[in-house]
Structure 1
Amino acid sequence: MTRPSWAPPEIDLDRPSAARVYDYYLGGFHNFPADRAMAQEAIRMWPELPVMMQANRAFLRRAIRYCVSRGITQFLDIGSGIPTVGNSHEVARQADPQSRVVYVDIDPIAVAHSRAILGDDPATRVLQGDLRRPDEILNDERVRELLDLDRPVAVLMVALLHFVPDADQPREVIAQLGDALVEGSMLVVSHASSDGQPELAARHQQLYSRTPTPMTMRSKVEIESLFGDFALQEPGVVPIARWHPDPGAQAHPEIERMVGFAGVGLKETVR
């Protein structure tokens, strides 16, 4: 296929990317035939996937509004993927026009897209970074020039940590990030789980083993442990659609059972 102008030359167009597959699920246009083929295979296996991904994106919106309601207007979106309609900066600004967002992703195509879409927006920054090296993210000049780390920050890890294997010590990485944040900061997490549909989840993990970012699904208990010293806020770690649902939202028990879990943690005073 002809390489589009926005695709960096180092990107392998024939190997699916988790970020671009996710973009396809959300109805985006920043994906290639290999990504669409993998997504369609996954949908044949798990027809509810697009609805599940949309539920995850809806959680992101609710969580950002929740953080703003608690006085936070600074967001560090790690594993942000490719910005599509309703992404973090749009939602945050609707809640408070003074909001600022730094997008971080390890995938160069996601970073390239983000920079092209956001351009010279003064209230956003985009950097290529690796969650496993939190100090590099926090000390990056683009983070420091936009976010005041002496004030509370909401760290968004939405649909990210199931791409971080236990060998990479996600709990320790989150603890390092937490140590660098001030009291009142928040951690927002959604995570795919093997609870409810273990056989189907195993096949889904096998499918993602084709990508540079294979999946590690975790149980609810394991997801709760990722919050470490962050105090879970009500209602705790729950099925994604049940975390502060919008008024009048229709319940989908089958989707709730399969999509995974979400929660928000608060950094409290260290005693």
Structure 2
Amino acid sequence: MDRSGHEDAHPSTGATEPRVDTSSPNVARMYDYYLGGAANFAVDREAAERALAITPEIGRFARMNREFLGRVVRYLCERDIDQFLDLGSGVPTVGNVHEIAHQHNPDARVAYVDHESVAIAHARALLAEEPYVSATQADIRRPAEVLSAPGVAGLLDFSRPVAVLAVAIMHFVPDADDPVGILRAYRAACAPGSYLALSHAATITMTESESQRGQGVYRSTTTPLVLRDRDEIAALFDGCDLVEPGLTPINHWPSQTEESPANGYGAVAELR
């Protein structure tokens, strides 16, 4: 979108940039604020501060989750994975998937997908000189549309192993939208030897009051937060073989630490 507010076509994809909605807080921009980014608006900062006032654990989850993502990408690169589909990638910040992957393999391909226009606008600006990285605006709840999008289908070769990253995104998908079925559709598109990595917010150390009040803040956004317990999160990996150590608090993956658990679980599964 140009400064006059008109929609512009992105030069590499032909996709139009929709208008940015700043009338209500957005979870991708709130997450960016938790991580110290600048791609957020007053409405996002206000909502994020209300959440942090209820419990600082929300901000800690964001930081611990970002570190989890980095460890996962390194783990996958060490297993020769050189293609990544990052669902709900959010606003680009330090430690992006492609930055970590390219440290291991400069030819690694990364397809970012997000529904938030600010996130995609920032990603496209950041990736303008990156031939092996794309940013696609799409709803991850529609796997067929995501998988057929030019930035995904034209970049990733699904006849070879791909890592599907669903990091801190499925807790924004309500049960009514069938999160298990959504992930199953992405898995079905992948060749054997692919991986699914997932993290999900949960109430581990937070009180019931903190959990309920925190979710209340997110109900003011366009994508309310759905906290699930460990068994419900494990069900998202239905039929998968989890690599060691299985489903653990995100800051305890891949090895146990004495640090108190962050309020979220994560795991990696190899797809057969």
Match of 2:11 in 1: none
State the one-letter code of the partner of 1:69.
E
| Bigger Cα displacement from structure 2, 131-140 vs 196-205 | 196-205
Distance in 2 of aligned mates of 1:242 and 1:4: 48
Aligned 8 A contact 1:209 1:215 in 2 = yes
| Ranges in structure 2 where 5+ consecutive residues have no aligned partner | 8-16
Match of 2:246 in 1: 236
Match of 1:14 in 2: 23
1:95 aligns with one of 94, 99, 104: 104
Match of 1:51 in 2: 60
Aligned 8 A contact 1:111 1:126 in 2 = yes
Match of 1:264 in 2: 268
Distance in 2 of aligned mates of 1:259 and 1:196: 6
| Ranges in structure 1 where 5+ consecutive residues have no aligned partner | none
Please state whether the residue corresponding to 1:77 is helix, strand or coil.
strand
| Bigger Cα displacement from structure 2, 182-191 vs 140-149 | 140-149
Match of 1:123 in 2: 132
Q: Displacement, 1:120? A: 3.7
Distance in 2 of aligned mates of 1:85 and 1:77: 15
Please state whether the residue corresponding to 2:154 is helix, strand or coil.
helix
User: TM-score, normalised on structure 2?
Assistant: 0.90
Q: Number of residues paired by the alignment?
A: 260
Q: Displacement, 1:100? A: 1.0
User: TM-score, normalised on structure 1?
Assistant: 0.90
Q: CA RMSD in A?
A: 2.0
Q: How does 1:136-215 map to 2 (within 5 A)?
A: 136-197=145-206, 198-215=208-225
Q: Displacement, 1:49? A: 2.9
Please state whether the residue corresponding to 1:146 is helix, strand or coil.
coil
2:118 aligns with one of 109, 116, 121: 109
After superposition, the C-alpha distances for 1:73-117 in whole angstroms (9 at most, x for unaligned) are 100000000111111110111122221100000112211111122
Distance in 2 of aligned mates of 1:244 and 1:4: 48
Q: Displacement, 1:229? A: 2.0
**What percentage of aligned pairs have identical amino acids?**
44
Q: Displacement, 1:251? A: 3.7
Runs of 4+ with >3 A deviation: none
Aligned 8 A contact 1:239 1:262 in 2 = yes
Q: How does 1:68-83 map to 2 (within 5 A)?
A: 68-83=77-92
State the one-letter code of the partner of 1:263.
A
State the one-letter code of the partner of 1:72.
I
